[in-house]
Structure 1
Amino acid sequence: MPLGQRVRFDDVRKSFNGVESGPYLDVAARGLLFEGGRAALMAHLDDAARGTTDKAALFASVEETRGLFAALIRATPDEITFTRNVTDGIAAFGAGLDWKVGDGVLLCEELEHPANIYPWFGLARRFGLAIKTIAPVDGALAADRIVEAIEPSTRVIAVSSVSFAPGFRFAVAQLGAECRRRGILLLVDAAQSIGVIETDVGAWQADAIAVSTQKGLLSTYGLGMLYVRREVAEALTPVYISRFGVDVTGHEASRGDPASFECAPGARRFDLGNYNYPAILAVEQALRLLLDIGPAAIESRVLGLASSFADRMLDLGLPVFGGRPGQHSSHIVTIGRDLGEDHDATGDPALVSLYRHLVAGGVRLTIRRNLLRFSFHLYNDESDIMTVAELVEQWRRSARS
């Protein structure tokens, strides 16, 4: 890494107070709040307390944030809408489709987070859809296996760009090209990759991408963003209609003609007011940071750290799930031999012991699906790897004595 870029990441690390308490390796659960976002949030709360809130400025921040997120994923602002979280985004997209009884949805129930499962089963119950689930192999799902499972009735395929456990990358672009060729809609849950791994909606050929802001976007709970490809969005009918989702100009309370309204262009038709202004102000600053550094530079830095960490853990004798880093690798590294069912537990006494030793040493991580999960972002550096390695060596010596 060039010296100037290394210095830049060292400077950025100072903008995240959480690193002072020890290695924070848990962005897969939630990221550290960027200091710039925290300052914007506090300024907003001060305005609210003083009665000096500027509503016009808040609306301007909404549109600025919409544009910044569009730039991050190489979309256009009209293809972006605000949601409450990933589940909300997926549900809004799915419920806006014109379903027919027997239409099919393909997904991998064993690997997907519930946010990308329950909305589809809810729609299946309501519209008589056929949900087909594909089994993974060794914790991974190849695009070819999904393509083989496509049926004439398949309408939507739902995948995650990176699984929350074991943290493997999915070949979205490969599947996207096949879906586009066949006229099948592709929905991507990008909660685990957004802000860390470079996202190009054109290269992915995804029709919809749902994210939340508390992980790689370095902000708060309670806000998500949904990308819907313009051509697809124009054919969707939102379940909820709001003043902000209709094509009316003027003041936010301008009524227009409710009996003959037209939906706003693109994904804006899903906007519901008022917006979550505090969360939008926070993520606006984080998006500026991510774009300023550059998605490609962030991906290279963070995946490099995760790869070094995985190699170090393997050299220490720990079972990294998936083995040595490869095409499957992401910023998430998991330790363990088997992918289990329990969301936040492991039945392996050795892993429980190691987890407790690491937590006592100041490491922040999570247990997911029988695995210890470590996840990196731009505020991490080599010192975090060294600290964990030293704690692992201590634990191994203690276990032998």
Structure 2
Amino acid sequence: MTHATIPFREGFPALRNQTYLSICDKMILHRQVRAEVETFLDALADASASRTQHETRVTACRERFAALVGARPEEIAVGRNVSDGINATIWAVDWREGDNVVLSLDLEHPNNAYPWLRLRERGVELRSIPARDGRLDYAALIGAMDDRTRVLTCASVSFAPGFRADLERLGQAAHRRDALLVVDGVQTAGILQHDLHAENVDVFVTSTSKGLLGLYGFGFQFVSARCLDRLRPAYLSRPAVASDNEDHSAMGSEAYRLQPDARRFEVGSYNLAGAYAADAAMALLAQLGAETVEARALDVAARLRTGMVELGLPDVAMPGPAEVSHLVTAGPLDAGGHGYSDTRWVTDLSAALAEARIAHTVRRGQLRFGTHAYNIDEDADRALDVMQTVRRAA
């Protein structure tokens, strides 16, 4: 553990009384993040800051997120969550009957499934490619695209079984068809490194409620300059309109122009508490460095994954070199669902882990863990000890 990691870990009160291996479910708050939210609340209570002063935090966290994912600040819109970003993207495309979307519904979270399914109402075809052993079938996905494909979409890491997608390969294939690569990045943002331009991503959406260590109801939508002018937002409000006056209550000309950048996707007032939290959280991540964050999360995940294999747990998801992520899963895929499993040993292990105050989840019937930079080797060892005890008693 690096010297920089020690105060980072110590800043999370939740880690005092539990082993938290569930960033794939939700964040835990660092003391400095909570303090910044309280700063915002104090300013509201005292009426000591103007809206413009508060919004400097929006600008700051926009810049921090851009730096984190290899983007430019003007390519980042501030929104609420993945659902907002996906829907905003979908309804900004000029769909024509007979167009199609290529995806793998088997591997998508419902929030990156239902919005695309609704396009059937407009005569858009969904070409869903079955997963292969819990993995994207790259050859089939690429082969399913044609000249009427408008979008190829996937998650940067599947929420189960937790394999990382080869975005660069998918983006290259999409661009050959003049299609967009749209990515649900909530499982990786703030944990695994991204260079969205190098990865050929056109749209990347996330919230701050997982690896970015912020609040619910605040998120980001990256829109590459490459495709910006191909998208016309369905919703429009004052922040999305270009004007010499930055006062959001000031009406400009009726002959309005959209913002020249991703801000055209921003709607209404910002979640300012979320901006304060995101700014503070990403400052902490920047102090550690993206390389350190990823390395620490992957090291602990690898220790946990290897130990589970050594315990003889069936169906431990074993990623290839390009698929490795901070998620670790075990158990038959889809033998159960959200929060439950039809597999007895998964249920038994989950109950024992919960009793030992080791945070985890069950998703698609699988036992699931997720690591971050605050995790240490001892966290993995403690979970393995509990699982070993249960297995020996079985």
Q: TM-score range by the shorter chain?
A: over 0.9
TM-score when normalising by structure 1: 0.95
Aligned CA RMSD, in angstroms, stands at 1.4
Q: How far did residue 50 of structure 1 move?
A: 2.4
Q: In structure 1, what is the equivalent of residue 37 of structure 2?
A: 41
Q: Helix, strand or coil: the match of 2:2?
A: helix
Verify: 1:248 aligned to 2:243, yes or no.
yes
**Cα offsets for 1:315-363 (capped at 9, x unmatched):** 1111253237643221000011333462221001111111101110110
Q: How far did residue 90 of structure 1 move?
A: 0.7
Structure 1 residue corresponding to 2:283, chosen from 288, 294, 299 = 288
Verify: 1:50 aligned to 2:46, yes or no.
yes
Verify: 1:372 aligned to 2:345, yes or no.
no
Report if the CA contact (8 A) 2:239-2:268 is conserved. yes
Q: In structure 1, what is the equivalent of residue 147 of structure 2?
A: 152
Structure 2 residue corresponding to 1:271, chosen from 266, 271, 290 = 266
Verify: 1:111 aligned to 2:107, yes or no.
yes
Q: How far did residue 154 of structure 1 move?
A: 1.0
TM-score when normalising by structure 2: 0.96
How many Å separate the matches in 1 of 2:31 and 2:81? 22
Residue type of the alignment partner of 1:337:
P
Q: How far did residue 41 of structure 1 move?
A: 0.4
**Cα offsets for 1:146-171 (capped at 9, x unmatched):** 11111232110011110001111111
Report if the CA contact (8 A) 2:134-2:161 is conserved. yes
Verify: 1:129 aligned to 2:124, yes or no.
yes
Identical aligned pairs, as a percentage?
Answer: 34
How many Å separate the matches in 1 of 2:9 and 2:87? 36
Q: In structure 1, what is the equivalent of residue 181 of structure 2?
A: 186
Q: How far did residue 234 of structure 1 move?
A: 2.3
Report if the CA contact (8 A) 1:143-1:170 is conserved. no
**Unaligned residue ranges in structure 2 (runs of 5+):** none
**Unaligned residue ranges in structure 1 (runs of 5+):** none
How many Å separate the matches in 2 of 1:338 and 1:119? 24
Q: Helix, strand or coil: the match of 2:153?
A: strand
Q: In structure 2, what is the equivalent of residue 176 of structure 1?
A: 171
Report if the CA contact (8 A) 2:189-2:206 is conserved. yes
Report if the CA contact (8 A) 2:304-2:380 is conserved. yes
Q: How far did residue 229 of structure 1 move?
A: 0.6
Q: In structure 2, what is the equivalent of residue 93 of structure 1?
A: 89
How many Å separate the matches in 1 of 2:68 and 2:4? 19
Report if the CA contact (8 A) 1:310-1:324 is conserved. no
Structure 2 residue corresponding to 1:22, chosen from 14, 18, 22 = 18
How many Å separate the matches in 1 of 2:265 and 2:241? 9
Q: In structure 2, what is the equivalent of residue 383 of structure 1?
A: 378
Structure 2 residue corresponding to 1:300, chosen from 295, 298, 305 = 295
Structure 2 residue corresponding to 1:217, chosen from 206, 212, 217 = 212
Report if the CA contact (8 A) 1:139-1:339 is conserved. no
Report if the CA contact (8 A) 1:310-1:320 is conserved. no
Identify the range of structure 1 (146-155 vs 44-53) with the bigger mean alpha-carbon deviation: 44-53
**Cα offsets for 1:144-198 (capped at 9, x unmatched):** 2211111232110011110001111111111112222221111011111111110
Residue type of the alignment partner of 2:196:
V
Q: Helix, strand or coil: the match of 2:48?
A: coil
From the superposition, tell whether residues 341 and 144 of structure 1 become closer, same or farther in structure 2 (CA, over 3 Å). farther
Residue type of the alignment partner of 1:64:
A
From the superposition, tell whether residues 101 and 341 of structure 1 become closer, same or farther in structure 2 (CA, over 3 Å). farther
How many Å separate the matches in 2 of 1:132 and 1:142? 13
Q: How far did residue 199 of structure 1 move?
A: 0.7
* Equivalenced residues, count: 393
Structure 1 residue corresponding to 2:136, chosen from 137, 141, 153 = 141
Verify: 1:67 aligned to 2:67, yes or no.
no
Q: In structure 1, what is the equivalent of residue 226 of structure 2?
A: 231
Residue type of the alignment partner of 1:361:
A
Structure 1 residue corresponding to 2:306, chosen from 299, 308, 311 = 311
How many Å separate the matches in 1 of 2:320 and 2:387? 20
Residue type of the alignment partner of 2:341:
T
**Cα offsets for 1:9-54 (capped at 9, x unmatched):** 1221011111112210110010211222111101111222223233
From the superposition, tell whether residues 106 and 355 of structure 1 become closer, same or farther in structure 2 (CA, over 3 Å). same
**Pairing of 1:331-370 with structure 2 (within 5 A):** 331-340=326-335, 342-370=337-365
Kindly indicate which of the two structures has a greater share of residues assigned to helix.
Answer: 1
Q: Helix, strand or coil: the match of 2:283?
A: helix
From the superposition, tell whether residues 196 and 306 of structure 1 become closer, same or farther in structure 2 (CA, over 3 Å). same
Structure 2 residue corresponding to 1:82, chosen from 58, 78, 89 = 78
Q: In structure 2, what is the equivalent of residue 398 of structure 1?
A: 393
Residue type of the alignment partner of 2:72:
T
Report if the CA contact (8 A) 2:153-2:182 is conserved. yes
